[in-house]
A = this chain, B = another copy of it.
Amino acid sequence: MPASDMTVPSSVQPPQRVLLGPGPSVIDPAVLSALARPTLGHLDPAFLVIMDEVRSMLRRVMGTENELTFPMSGTGSAGMETCLVNLIEPGDSVLVAVNGVFGTRMAEVARRAGAEVTTVEQTWGRSFSADELRAGAGGKSFKLLCIVHAETSTGVLQDLVPARAVADECDALLLVDCVTSLGGHTLHLDDMGVDAAYSGTQKCLSCPPGLSPISFSPRASAVLAERRTPVQSWYLDLSMISNYWGSDRAYHHTAPINMLYGLHESLRLVLTEGLEERIARHALHARALVAGLESMGLTPRVAADERLAPLTAVAVPDRARAFLLSQFSLEIGGGLGPMAGNTWRIGLMGAGATRHSVTLCLAALRAALTEQGQDPGVDPLLAAGATYAS
């Protein structure tokens, strides 16, 4: 190899971005600081205390008493796969509601786990009614009904009441993707009758990506206990992993110690703020953002009554994203699938759901529109300000 290829890169010095895309979100400095604390062994008594605190706080944030509640050692998609491969045995019938990328992904993962998958489709950007889900079920029984609470690809919030009702009609467990809703929308797994849920850390919890909190109800846990075949994934096999997170402390794999310090800190921040206060904060700043967008003639892609607070999709040209990043070090997201090239996704999540973020985002978008020769009209900060004043 020539000597010129043998140089060693410098240490990473990432620019300080304002992360207002679909995640990762703005990270609180206290969480970053926690990541850098001294590494412990995964069976160190001091680490076991940290694990117990993470589980306990996670239960409070997820609104559940479920014993089987802990973060998986992978990102949100690992949590999705964990739920599906543990609950599905080859040949099981599964109903998946698809109205975006993540419903599509659930159907694909379920097929790979050997399920007979029935999908019920909805236009991207819309949520499902009970009747729509019921029509998709077609009067049949299913082992699982899978649905996305907060579709990160479109910004749609799904009411879980009709989902639970139809799951009951189908004798199905209800599996919910709450990656973008946990800590930013009302989500109480026990009250809502959710049997299995997975989330991510890099959205409304404002922790870097790398872990996926999951929770299984007693009914879902009973399904695990009654499996006739081994879980196809050893790494994601909950029967073994729950022995590490539970009282046995049996070694399964080496937990990502420092990432768990970060999650611990981010859960602390959620509970210190108060879950209801945090959810109200997400709602407030989303309203102000939308007011500002609409004042510039930018219409959200999702109707007000099924719109996510942490993530707003708007129909605008894609090329302004690079302008925002280069001029303002401000990241927002592009569209996925059928929304690629015609939709922006603006996230106000966790530590990023602030008036400062709204102000910065609206002002930068106004500049981007102006730079592209569009007339954004009135100053959007005034419309946003009116929301805050009301």
Contacts and interface: CB of A to CB of B under 8 A. Distances in A.
Interface string A251-284: 1111111110110110010011000000000000
A234 interface: yes
Contacts of A38: 14-17, 27, 32
A210 B210 contact: yes
A9 B264 contact: yes
B24 A32 contact: no
A256 B50 contact: no
A14 B37 contact: yes
A74 interface: yes
20 contacts: A8-B268, A14-B50, A15-B38, A17-B41, A24-B254, A27-B39, A32-B39, A73-B74, A74-B74, A76-B254, A77-B234, A78-B235, A78-B253, A81-B235, A108-B234, A209-B255, A209-B257, A210-B210, A210-B256, A258-B262
Contact of A234 (B12, B13, B112): B112
Q: How many copies does the complex hold?
A: 2
A350 B24 CA distance: 31
Given A200-B254, A259-B256, A17 B30 contact: no
A226 interface: no
A189 B147 CA distance: 44
Contact of A12 (B14, B108, B208, B264): B264
Interface of A: 6, 8-9, 11-17, 19, 21, 23-24, 27, 30, 32-42, 44-47, 50, 53, 56-57, 60, 73-78, 80-81, 85, 105, 108-109, 111-113, 200, 202, 208-210, 230-236, 251-259, 261-262, 264-265, 268, 271-272, 325, 331, 336
Contacts of A255: 75, 209
A17 B35 contact: no
B254 A42 contact: no
A40 B6 CA distance: 27
Contacts of A268: 8-9, 11
B208 A50 contact: no
A85 B232 CA distance: 10
A80 B253 CA distance: 11
B46 A209 contact: no
Contacts of A42: 24, 209
A257 B23 CA distance: 11
A113 B210 contact: no
Contacts of A331: 41, 44
Contacts of A81: 233-235
B77 A253 contact: yes
Contacts of A252: 77
Contacts of A9: 53, 56-57, 264, 268
Nearest to A251: B336
A173 B105 CA distance: 31
A24 B39 contact: yes
B14 A112 contact: no
A76 B105 CA distance: 25
A203 to B, nearest CB: 9
A8 B272 contact: yes
A60 B8 CA distance: 10
A257 B24 contact: yes
A105 B50 CA distance: 28
A44 B73 contact: no
A39 B234 contact: no
A53 B13 CA distance: 13
Contacts of A253: 75-78
